[in-house]
Structure 1
Amino acid sequence: MYIALELGFLYAVMALGVYLTYRVLDFPDLTVDGSFTTGAATCAMMIVGGLPVPVAMAGGVVAGMLAGAITGALHVWGRINPLLAGILTQIALYSINLRIMGNKANVPLLRETTAFTWLKDHSLMRSWVSVAILAGVALIVAALLYWFLGTSYGVALRATGDNELMARSQGINTGASKIVGLMISNGIVGLCGTLVVQHQGFADISMGIGIIVAGLASVIVGQAIFGMTAVWQAILAVVAGSVIYRVVIQLALGAEWFTANDMKLISAVLVVLALVLPQWGPLKRLRIKRRREKAVAEGVS
């Protein structure tokens, strides 16, 4: 169970980046599958090259931001459909990532000093200590994202996602907002890649394939269970959704009738359930009832 919690908090960082584009900007960004690997590959190669871990992680974040900037530029300046812009960047990043990794499909970090070396040396991996540290990292990123969305520029991003025409009429440069939002989102995804590559001890060219599904699942599961009426609630729901998603997968893989090959199937089924169950009659009526009770309570107070 420790490994599920560790992965849940690790990938919560990536899910927060997906939340920024999927929910805040209302931009279906598929760059994530590529920018995740870009951040991981850049960090791995910089660590192998002898650079300090913080510098390598910063390099991974910048690489992710550049990937997001390319998608944003294709959409805003090239007038390319958001989905297609993300797909084009994702495809290009596969070759770019291979070049970053020295035309190798795998770069090991087993003999290198990483952010997790101290925990591994003291046999604290897969324990409550490592879980608590990773939970702290996820909450710090969540707090920074919440702070950013409360700034004037963050509000402009939210306005762009809510109603682009209205935002433009208020003098907001929606094109620049989209590009900046995509850069921040993929920078966060790149940060997650730098953490995951150090956690697992190697960078692999295919490590980002399907990662967008995990991010969307975390956002959707969190929304279905906890709701997203306020920004802080939405952000915490994404973190909780990521943990729940990983725990459910771990439990499913622990059952005798599932194997590691079924992980993608389990992920897809989990997302479908998270999308369908909130629309189920009894749950929908219960949610409406609670909303009315809350409105009455607020009116009385």
Structure 2
Amino acid sequence: MSIQSSIDVEFTSVNNVKSRQITIIGGRGRMGQLFAQKLLAIGHKVNVLGNQDWDFAEQLLSQAELVIVSVPIEHTVDVIKRAAKYLSPTTALCDITSIKTQPTQAMLTHHQGPVMGLHPMFGPSVQSFSGQKIVVCPGRHDESFQWLLDFLQNQGGELITCTPEEHDQMMVFVQATQHFYRLSLGVFLAEANIDLERSLLMSSPSYRQEIEILKRLFKQNPNLCVDIILATEERCQVINDLAETYQRLAQLVARKDREGLIKEFEEHQAFFQQEDNSLLPATYTFTENKDTGFNRFH
């Protein structure tokens, strides 16, 4: 495959932005395309390295000022290892996958230059970064990424900084359990074969919002949802705990145990009435993840 198949477009500087040489590994994917379009639009030069382009890896990677890894979960660490041998020590390397501990550690281990983990908390269907959250996990030589962080903020993005470990702990609840819950609800509604449009005519705002979320979820490639659910052993264990909670409450319903359900409600009200509480229940502890699975960007 010729190197000409990659995106290789140069613009003059826009609004006095210094034009930089960028390569996006996996840039033909939807999230990679989104970042490529936004970076190109303000005057940067962007190449894409896809599966068919590794014969040209040295040309596409060795001269890049920034390399962004945007590949499926199961390939992230292997791609980082493969790409690192072509990088200059001054090249800034980051990933935009939604698990951060192992990708960040892989980048720090295999690349001697600047390293940072990013997780865009949105899907590739957004029209802009305005109002969107991006989690930032510093790795090494953070100053090399300042122009990129400034770009995201200037585009309206909100940056949240944390360690890779904290990020992964939070995503167990922010992403994995939510995807499992919505996958379960979607399967249930589909198997019940309800008249979805009719139900929306007599629905509450919260129901309509939930159905819209489900519609967006089920328009995605199923690999995206499933990889989020199965990405780590911690996620699988917590989802199992969630399923056990469903079962415990369902048994109360089966017994028509009104007092039992009210007790469950009342015992947990305080958790959601705290002004400043953690999203992580104290009953959960996290250890270093030894899995090899990673999540797709989302």
| Larger of the two Rg values belongs to structure | 2
Higher strand share: 2
TM over 0.5: no
Q: Report the TM-score range of the alignment, normalised by the length of the smaller protein.
A: under 0.3
TM-score, length of structure 1 as denominator length: 0.26
TM-score, length of structure 2 as denominator length: 0.26
